[in-house]
Structure 1
């Protein structure tokens, strides 16, 4: 009888265990693009992997003016690097960070003045994930005018969080 009850309860218990306690952010905490008026845009940046064994290098936006950028439920924020976010003209503060495979940096803030009809993009220089024995110590991130390539913010240095951290290198196998 106990075995029978366990067999009946097992699917229910495993279903409850597999459901993560995922709560949606309240709408007032999620970034909403402007509805009307003069706008500009901003997006992250991705540099393709430099070897077949490690991931792409990505600088991405986490929030705009203190409000989280929208993402799909199971999606990581780094997967939103190519989303284009409309902005009103004027001063904005964006929180950005960098990721490459298991390496990442602490979020940092950049403030800039968005001008009408301009497109902006994150840019970065880093030693994280650039070589097998690199120091993995920093990522310098700034915002540039996408059309001219000229920076519109100062360069902000962000660093990985303090140890301990787990570093992984995904292995990509192409079966061609």
Structure 2
């Protein structure tokens, strides 16, 4: 009897563990590539971290024109840094961010004008995660034309999120 109860409990627990949050954003909130007209492409970028244990330094795109980019079964938006997104020609506003290990930048908006048949890349310069005791204070982003290696947007500065406020609670010991 104990074995039957144990097996039933294990089946219930493993069933609960395998349930994932399968609720996705509605299609109208996700970025859809253009189907007509001339297009260009945009992607994020990555550079090696200062230590192999920390991971790479990654600049990635979270939204294009107010629409979330699909994660395609990847857990984090930063895992989509190498996804190439087709975009229509004209002006685009993207929400972008940066991550290395446990450090990340506040998402920022960047605007650029895409020309037909061009390939663009989100580039960055930072002091976040560049060495063991780096200042961890900023990330500068810009969009670059991959063929000419020239910037096509203004430089946008992002910073780390504000440190959480320390809250203390008194400990009362009654004798």
TM range (shorter): 0.7 to 0.9
Relative to the length of structure 2, the TM-score reads: 0.86
Task: Tell me the CA shift for residue 6 of structure 1.
Answer: 5.2
Relative to the length of structure 1, the TM-score reads: 0.86
User: For 2:159 and 2:146, how far apart are their aligned partners in 1?
Assistant: 25
Match of 1:98 in 2: 98
Over alpha carbons, which structure has the higher Rg? Answer: 2
Contact 2:143 2:152 in 1 (8 A): yes
Match of 1:168 in 2: none
User: For 2:113 and 2:143, how far apart are their aligned partners in 1?
Assistant: 11
User: For 2:118 and 2:20, how far apart are their aligned partners in 1?
Assistant: 40
Contact 2:124 2:139 in 1 (8 A): yes
The number of equivalent residue pairs is 165
Match of 2:142 in 1: 142
Contact 2:49 2:130 in 1 (8 A): no
Q: Deviations over 1:32-70 (max 9, x none)?
A: 111121111111011122333321011000110111111
Match of 1:61 in 2: 61
Structure 1 residue ranges without an equivalent (≥5): 166-176
User: Where does structure 1 differ by over 3 angstroms across 4 or more consecutive aligned residues?
Assistant: 1-7
Match of 2:171 in 1: none
User: For 2:138 and 2:157, how far apart are their aligned partners in 1?
Assistant: 7
Task: Tell me the CA shift for residue 76 of structure 1.
Answer: 1.6
User: For 1:52 and 1:134, how far apart are their aligned partners in 2?
Assistant: 16
Q: Determine if the alignment matches structure 1 residue 36 to structure 2 residue 32.
A: no
User: For 1:106 and 1:58, how far apart are their aligned partners in 2?
Assistant: 13
Task: Tell me the CA shift for residue 3 of structure 1.
Answer: 7.5
User: For 2:74 and 2:22, how far apart are their aligned partners in 1?
Assistant: 9
Match of 2:168 in 1: none
SS in 2 for 1:14: helix
Task: Tell me the CA shift for residue 26 of structure 1.
Answer: 0.9
